[in-house]
Amino acid sequence: AAGGIILPFIGGYFIATAFGQTMVSALYIALCISVTAIPITARLLKDYKIQRTNTAHVTIGAAILNDIMAFILFSVIMSLHANGDIQPIEIVWLVAQVGLFFGVVMWLGFKLSKYMGKALENKGFTFALIVAMGLGLLAESIGLHMILGAFLAGLFIREEVLDDKIFTKIEDRIYGLSYGFLGPIFFASLAFNIDFSAFYTQPVFLVALVIVAIIGKMIGAGGGALIQKMKTKDALLIAVAMNARGAMELVLASIGYEAGILDQSSLSILVIMAFVTTMITIFAMKPIVKKIRATS
């Protein structure tokens, strides 16, 4: 998990600064290319019917830890942007604040989920919305961004946490609302801010960022798996599965643009990069899964 964020973050920062980005912008771009889109990764593992394997569990666990570390960096960078400077003690406090928020909420969430059971059977969707909005407001009230609360809420709407029947009901309703209504609105609003001239005005920056993002994640995540003595084919699956950025990067890029950290060109490059890395992940996973099944 650490390797999956550290290498692309460092590589992204140096690439961004080399192409004239300010320190804060470079840090934010590096952050965006370091995340993993957990919903896409989980969906691909489920589509290939390997979601219950040990490799899949390691992949999802690593992706969750990856994004938790990313949100800690997000809080530090947003604070740096807001104040123009940040002291080491402030960084320590922010890290502790985010860590405590995640730790307490996750502990309470997993404890309570055991007792909710049938009580949520007919009210699961409403409960999911309340949790998402409630944790978002809670995060805002203690000085963090609401996206941290929303991200945490998403971690609880999972098969591993909820009863299968309840999860299926919630998933069906959220899927329709998200992909049929809210998703198109988000992507349409984001599209208005995209300048596709980045394809020919900054092609080298775009290509360099995509290469660093892919290779950094492959070496970081895959190398970490090999260090843990996993099989090469399993390490390759983890490395590829964690390369999808998807909506996670798009949301962060949108926040960065609205906050004035990213300009239109940088936003456009990140959107293109999110699409490219996600498509590569989708197509690259199929032969890897086939190879794993053939040798199992």
Q: Which of 101, 78, 97 has the alpha carbon at shortest distance from 89?
A: 97
Write out the two tokens for 206. Answer: 């775009």
| pLDDT attached to residue 29 | 94
What's the distance, CA 140 to chain centroid? 20
Indicate if the pLDDT at residue 286 is higher than 80: yes
Q: Angle at CA 210, nearest 5°, toward 202 and 4?
A: 145
Domain 2-295 has CATH 1.10.1040.10: no
As a whole number of Å, the CA-based R_g of the chain is 19
So what's the pLDDT on residue 180?
67
Question: pLDDT at position 257, please?
Answer: 92
Where along the chain do its domains lie? 2-295
pLDDT score of 294: 73
With a pLDDT cut of 90, the percent of the chain lying above it is 18
d(CA 91, CA 80): 9
Q: What is the mean pLDDT of residues 211-232?
A: 89
What are the pLDDT digits (tens) for 156-194?
A: 666 555 566 666 666 666 666 666 666 667 767 777 778
Query: What is the residue type of 72?
Result: I
Indicate left, alpha or beta for 37 from its phi (over 0: left) and psi (-120 to 50: alpha).
beta
Q: Which two tokens stand for residue 121?
A: 């059977």
126-135, 147-156, 157-166: which range is least confident on average?
157-166
**Locate tokens 């999972």: which residue?**
158
